[in-house]
Amino acid sequence: MSDARARILAKVKASLRAESRGPEAVAALEARLSDPQRGLVPARAQLDAAGRLALFERMARAQSASFDHLQDLADVPAAVSRYLKAENLPAKLRLAPDPDLEALPWHDESLLTVESGRATGDDLVSLTGCFGAVAETGTLVLTSGPTGPTSLNFLPDTHIVVLQADQVVGPYEDLVARLRAAYGAHVMPRTVNFITGPSRTADIEQTIQLGAHGPRRLHILLVGAKAAPARD
């Protein structure tokens, strides 16, 4: 295979006449990577905090996500019970192994069974946090890690996501900046999921059907939206 590497790179370089690339050109390429510049950011994504929240909700709802607005993180367990009851879903929850979520007052919901960990094939409902959200397209962003098993985002029929108002950014580029701040330059976790609405397919006669392989429902618990101060 290293032979293939040498052959391919030699052919690429020959086709590009890359040997004539001078040190200034190489420095410019390095600079482009070490100091990444933004391209054109759509005007729609450049909003204040309230505008971002409104756009995020409008775009996500357009992709069939549902919403509940909560004042406080402690309101999450009651909101989950309410949602499961309204949707006629079993009162059983697979929780992301996230200490902040595990510490919530789940014991107040006596009818709700809560277990944390990665998804098994039998889990019907999962609840996770998220890394952030992008208003531009109504997109949630979830990263893998000790507190975020990726299987929770795809295996259960219903995925409930807790999103804090100050996690919502306008364009993709702001989210990228937050990823770099959290993980370091040029470093990514194993998986970053951009999720916009529940799973869907149009593979049969171009008719859109929800719930192809991933979740049939995506429910977003938006926490602290009203009190959200303008940030960034």
Partner 1 sequence: MESRAHSFSANAHDALNDAQLQKALGFVKSGFIERRRQAADQLPEFEALRDQARDIKNHTLDNLDFYLERYEAQLQAAGGQLHWAATAEEARAAILKICQDAGARLVTKGKSMISEEIGLNGFLEQAGIDVAETDLGEYIIQLRKEPPSHIIAPAVHVTKEQVRADFLSHHKDLPPDRQLDDPPQLVAEARQILRQRFQDADVGITGANFLIAETGTSVIVTNEGNGDLTQCLPKVHIVIASLEKIVPNLEDTATILRVLARSATGQECSTYTTYSTGPKRAEDPDGPEAYHVVLLDNGRSGMLGSAFRDVLRCIRCGACMNHCPVYHAIGGHAYGWVYPGPIGSVLTPSLIGVQEAGSLPNASTFCGRCEAVCPMRIPLPKMMRHWREQEFARHLTPTAQRWGLKAWAFLARRPALYRVCTGLAMRSLAALGRGRGRFRRLPLAAGWTDHRDLAAPQGASFQSQWRRGLRAKVRS
Scan residues 191-220 and list those touching partner 1 (CB under 8 A): 191-207, 209, 211-215
Please provide the DSSP assignment of 117-176 as one string: SSPPTT--EEEE--SEEEGGGTEEEEE-BTTB-GGGGTSSSEEEEEEEGGGEESSHHHHH
The number of residues that bind partner 1 (CB under 8 A) is: 80
Q: Considering only CA atoms, which of 222, 212, 37 is closest in space to residue 140?
A: 222
Please list every residue from 63 through 92 that binds partner 1, using CB under 8 A.
63
Q: How many residues does the chain have?
A: 232
Bridge-partner residues for 113, per DSSP? Answer: 92
CA dihedral 175, 176, 181, 184 (to 10 degrees): 150
Instruction: Pick the binder of partner 1 from 22, 23, 121, 229 (CB under 8 A).
Output: 121
Query: Binding string to partner 1 for residues 7 to 46, with x set by CB under 8 A, is what?
Result: xxx-xxxxxx-x--x----x--x--xx--xxxxx-xxx--
Out of 77, 81, 83, 97, the only residue in the binding site for partner 1 (CB under 8 A) is 97
Asked if 167 is part of the footprint of partner 1 (rule: CB under 8 A), the reply reads no
Q: Please list every residue from 47 through 66 that binds partner 1, using CB under 8 A.
A: 59, 62-63
- As given in the structure block, the two tokens for residue 93 are 């929850």
Does the footprint of partner 1 cover residue 103 (CB under 8 A)?
Answer: no
